[in-house]
Amino acid sequence: MHIDLSPRVVVGVALFGVVALALTVTRVISPGAPAPGSALPAQSPPITGRVIQPAQFPTTGLPYSPGILVGDTLYLSGQLGRDPATAKLVPGGIDAETRQALKNLREVLRAAGMDYQDVVSVTAFIADFADFPTFNEAYREVFANDPPARATVQVAGLNLGARVEIQMIAARPRLH
């Protein structure tokens, strides 16, 4: 059986389907949303974070915060192996840069009352996977036992021609 529908009917049915899908998705994404015509629920307070700026830290003049503490979770910006006194990359390639980046990140952790044992996730960006074994040697010294979750990706380039940049997320343990 063949039904010949006019373009207006096809467009109308398609539009109805899109609207129905949008309403369904809205209810799935925000199941607590009030039904049409009902009162709005009380608004949750906005999530705010506290900037963490350690004293011994490279001053770059770039628009970012070294860390943001939200509740018990600390989000640490990616760090290069910069000397805290000069903000220049330390000499010595990926080994020296990895060690210095980890030291800089530790300063942020400590300024928030945390340390390496509180790190739950690490993202490492390296300029060349040929440096991966050397990176891992330095990294393993900090995270020898029970290392955090980690992703390591090779990138086309890093600021200042750096060989590595490391970003972290840390969380304070909750006492029950």
* 149 domain residue, yes or no: yes
> Tokens in use for 22?
């949008």
- Answer for the pair 170, 67: CB distance below 8 angstroms, yes or no: no
Is 103 within the bounds of a domain?
yes
**Domain membership of residue 92 as a residue range:** 50-171
Q: Does residue 13 sit within a domain?
A: no
The DSSP element (H or E) to which 23 belongs, if any, is helix 7-29
* Cβ-contact 168, 118 below 8 angstroms: no
pTM score over 0.75: no
Whether 122 is covered by a domain: the verdict is yes
When computed from its CA atoms, the radius of gyration of the chain, rounded to whole angstroms, is 25
The per-residue pLDDT for 125 is: 98
Contact residues for 107 (Cβ-Cβ < 8 A; gap 6+)? 54, 56, 57, 66, 84
Residue entry with tokens 């891992």? 136
- pLDDT band at residue 34, thresholds of 50, 70 and 90? low
Q: How many domains does the chain have?
A: 1
The answer, yes or no, to whether residue 80 has pLDDT greater than 70, is yes
Report the C-alpha gap between 150 and 153 in whole angstroms: 10
As a whole number of angstroms, the distance between CA 130 and CA 148 comes to 23
The CA distance from 53 to 67, in Å, is 7
Confidence tier at 23 by pLDDT (50, 70, 90): very low
Classify residue 154: in a domain, yes or no.
Answer: yes
Question: What is the mean predicted confidence (pLDDT) over 88-113?
Answer: 98
Distance CA 31, CA 151 (A): 33
Contact call for residues 53 and 111 (beta carbons, < 8 A): yes
CATH number of the domain that residue 54 is part of: 3.30.1330.40
pLDDT interval class at 174 (50, 70, 90):
confident
Determine the Cα–Cα distance for residues 3 and 101; give it in Å rounded to an integer: 68
